[in-house]
Amino acid sequence: MSPNKVVRGKLARLLGADTERRVERLLRRAGLRCVVRNWRCKGGELDLVMFDGDTLVFVEVRRRSRRDRGSGAESLDARKRSRLLLAARRYLQTQRIQPPCRFDVVTIDGPEGQEELRWIRSAFDASY
């Protein structure tokens, strides 16, 4: 792997972590309570798991700095949704209680300083 790819990969991870922290702060201000960040299992990852009242919310964070590559919401294709569903099911298997759940998506689109943030509650459901 070239040094440039390594550096770009590290920068992308740092930007992703910063974006997830910003989204978490936003959702906390809206009254949600964070349970876990970046929960990983074989086959998937959950960016944020939060409670909104008694509802467990699986939050997917999508960032697109270039609008010509489509929006963050458009990047959440069927394959990615199925991986999120798999990860959510595995996460729920680790829990004693099975609360009502929903899947939210927070997108941040546009270049730095001109970003547009969108919170899509109940973006899709488990029957998808």
**pTM reported for the whole predicted model:** 0.84
Query: From CA 109, how far away is CA 19, in angstroms rounded?
Result: 11
Model confidence pLDDT, tens digit, residues 56-75: 999 999 887 666 565 556 66
Round to whole Å and give the CA distance between 47 and 54: 19
- For the chain, list residues with pLDDT below 70: 1-16, 65-75, 127-128
- Kindly report, residue by residue over 86-95, the tens digit of the pLDDT: 999 999 999 9
Q: Domains along the chain?
A: 3-124 (3.40.1350.10)
CA–CA dist 18, 67 (Å, integer): 20
How many angstroms separate the first and last alpha carbons of the chain? 37
